[in-house]
Structure 1
Amino acid sequence: MSDKDLRAYRPNVGVVLIRPDGKVWLGRRARTPGPLNWQFPQGGVDGGETLEEAAFRELAEETGVTSAEIIGRTEGWIAYAFPADHGGSKAARGWKGQKQAWFAMRFTGEDSEIDLEAHGEVEFDAWRWVDLDSALETVVAFKRAAYEQVIAAFRPLTLSPSRPGAPPAG
């Protein structure tokens, strides 16, 4: 998609939070019927904010997590369009979809840090640690192609030396 085409897409960041054992964090969207209502933290970029700042802010607002470090980032924008019947507030404001910069972050804290009510507006009502590829099974269909790109980009970062398929240490 050209830069001109992307102007109608809302700037957004996404975060894949990775534990040292390679499992990734998924949250269940609050007030969203299942089963395709699990996703990674994501959100808009505020004016004057860098993409990195937005990623850390969104992660903290949606999960309570502040113990994380950036270990990877996707190249360019990964975009998805809202379906025609999507009634969300972003579509109502004229956005065709979202263009996202994705960040892989290593979780350096403890599970007790996770607080879904850390911010006034609750985005997720449940969470779990999963294998990266399983995120495709529970994300809403219109985000699936974007998730395929994110998963392909970050898969090497989820492979610890003790896991099958991990690259050799060194």
Structure 2
Amino acid sequence: MLDGDGFRLNVGMVLMNARGQVFWGQRPRNAGWQFPQGGVDDGESAEQAMFRELREETGLSPEHVRVLGRTQDWVRYHLPRRFRRKPPGCVGQKQKWFLLEVIADDDAIHFDTGTKAEFASFEWVSWWYPVGQVVPFKRDVYRRVLSEMLPIRDAALGHVID
């Protein structure tokens, strides 16, 4: 689903464990690392899309997580031309981001629930690590989202860790 400016509506998820580390997922065939994200279907709210994508990409269900917060505004990024393939006319992503605390054991995470696995593996990394590791065209989004979510993370943990 595209908005009037050609941005695909999308949700992103920062999954955090009890130590304040974040889920960092490796795409299949070593195609890079990123946070879980996915499109919003017609008639679906951002929160509904988030829970559907969470299940499809990580195998986690609503009972495995606690929603801690979300970005106040939509966050946009432009896709480099070489990545613009579908839908036609798409210039980038317009995302709502959610901060989720994983309250299940790591073995609840699995990548075999969708038609095509979005991740091959994952690791728990420090809060700011993904900003320097994600593809360059997503770095500003990751920095903005993690900055906005930082006070929510600190309040949930009861202390500052970074």
> TM-score of the superposition, structure 2-length normalised?
0.88
Aligned to 1:11: 9
Decide whether the 8 Å contact of 1:19 with 1:108 is kept in 2: yes
Q: Which has the larger radius of gyration?
A: 1
Q: For residues 1-170 of structure 1, what are the structure 2 equivalents within 5 Å?
A: 7-31=5-29, 33=31, 37-66=32-61, 67-86=64-83, 88-90=84-86, 93-159=88-154, 160-161=157-158, 164=161
Name the SS of the counterpart of 2:72 in structure 1. Answer: coil
| Corresponding letter in the other structure for 1:75 | Q
Q: Deviations over 1:39-93 (max 9, x none)?
A: 110000011111001011111100101111211010111000011222x533x62
TM-score, normalised by the number of residues in structure 1: 0.84
C-alpha spacing 1:124/1:164, structure 2 compared with 1 (3 Å):
closer
CA distance in 2, matches of 1:89, 1:73: 28
State the percentage of identical aligned residues.
Answer: 39
| Counterpart residue type for residue 9 of structure 2 | P
The one-letter amino acid of 2:8's match is R
Q: Kindly tell me the number of residue pairs found equivalent between the two proteins.
A: 156
Give 4+ residue runs of structure 1 displaced > 2 Å after superposition: 156-165
Which runs of no fewer than 5 residues in structure 1 stay unpaired? 166-170
Q: 1:6·1:99 contact (CA, 8 Å) conserved in 2?
A: no
Instruction: Supply the RMSD in Å over aligned alpha carbons.
Output: 1.8
